[in-house]
Each structure stands twice: as C-alpha cells, then as structure tokens.
Amino acid sequence: LTRSNQHHLFRWGTVRAPKSNRQATASDEASLPGASTRPMPLHSLYFLALFLPLAVAVHFLLTRAGHFRLAIAGLVGLSLAFCGWRGLTDAEILVGSISVNFLIALLLHRHSGQPGPKQTFFLALGITVNLSLLGYFKYSAFVVENVNALLHTTYPVLTTYLPIGISFLTFQQIAYLTD
C-alpha cells in the first residue's frame, strides 16, 4: 500500500502495509481523518496565553459567585475542548470511556448489597474494557508488525495514535471501579 491508496478502516486509524514493504513517513501518525496536525501542547502560546487563563477565570468567577456545580461543569467542558483541540476523536474516546465506566459503576452499586459473582463479573468486565482500550491504542500496531515478521505474513497494520492521557484515564477509571 502506498500513501495514495490507503483506505480508512476505522475512524481511529488507517490501514498501512507492514514496515518491510514500505517506507515509514513522519505523517503516518497524523493520518487520522478530521484530525488536525497541530495539537495544543502545554507549553504552547495558545495554552499559556489563552486556554489556561480562560479556564482559571471561568472557574474562579463561577466559584466566587457560588455556582460550584457550574464551575465543575465548566472545567469538564474546557477539558473536553482541550482534548478535542486537534480533532474530536480524543474527546469522543474520553466521553465514551467515561460513559461505559459510569454505567459499569452503576451496575456495581446496584449489586453492592449482595457481594458475589455479579459484582465480581461487573468489576472484571470494567477492568477488561479499560485494559483492552489501553492495549488497543498502545500495542495493536506492535503486535501485528511482530506477527507479520515472525510468520512472514502481510496482515495490514492499523496505524493508531495515542490519545492524550489514555494511560492516566485508564488507571484512574480502574481505581474508580474498584473503590
């Protein structure tokens, strides 16, 4: 496969040939549909001069006015805006993961009075979902490339990028479920 005839397989990546059959390019990681190639790093002028002061001002003003829940909602909204700066994909992954974990936590809470196999199942399901998400984004290309190298196959490699904070989010959500 060449860059000109790659086909998008999933929303979060593109199919590409194994490394042995093509030259890697610097734009492989930025080949997401709809993704900007300009992320907002924490040391950028956009973040330091615009985003951070806006977030602090919104939180300070709302908290000072006594709107604590609105202040928290504002910080959540600004966090999603930060994650979605280079494209909505990061924010979609974040919201999806949080939603799934919230539903699993509700199921755990519903069965909290009766510890047993149901609680164990839901907790194991939550941990499995979280680690699967992390494993997909961190290791899927690595695994397919190694299978291709070991077995001399040409399975297509799904080029993924690492969403911002995915490791932190995963382990925070596992801690949330276990508490």
DSSP, residue by residue, 34-90: T--S----TTSHIIIIIIHHHHHHHHHHHHHTT-HHHHHHHHHHHHHHHHTTT-HHH
pLDDT digits (tens, 9 = 90+) for 107-142: 999 988 877 888 999 999 999 999 999 998 888 888
pLDDT classification of 39: cutoffs 50, 70, 90: low
Average pLDDT of every residue of the chain: 78
Residue 44's pLDDT is 81
The CA distances from residue 54 to 4, 72, 168, in Å, are 41, 14, 24
Residue 27's pLDDT is 41
Higher per-residue pLDDT: 179 or 69: 69
b vs e for 62-98, b when ≥16 Cβ sit within 10 Å of the residue's Cβ? Answer: beeeeeeeebeebeeebebebbbbbbebbbbbbeebb
pLDDT digits (tens, 9 = 90+) for 42-69: 778 888 888 899 999 999 999 999 999 9
Is residue 1 within 8 Å of 17, Cβ to Cβ? yes
Q: Please tell me the distance from the alpha carbon of residue 30 to that of residue 86, in angstroms, as a whole number.
A: 10
| CA angle, 97 then 79 then 165, to 5° | 55
Residue 22's pLDDT is 46
Element (H, E) at 157: strand 157-160
| Phi, psi for 44 (deg, rounded to 5) | -80, 160
Q: Would the pTM count as exceeding 0.85?
A: no
Q: Please tell me the distance from the alpha carbon of residue 72 to that of residue 85, in angstroms, as a whole number.
A: 20
Most confident residue range from 18-32, 78-92, 142-156 = 142-156
Residue 159's pLDDT is 64
pLDDT classification of 165: cutoffs 50, 70, 90: confident
Dig out the tokens for 109 from the structure.
């809470």
b vs e for 23-42, b when ≥16 Cβ sit within 10 Å of the residue's Cβ? Answer: eeeeebeebbeebeeeebee
Q: Please tell me the distance from the alpha carbon of residue 71 to that of residue 55, in angstroms, as a whole number.
A: 10
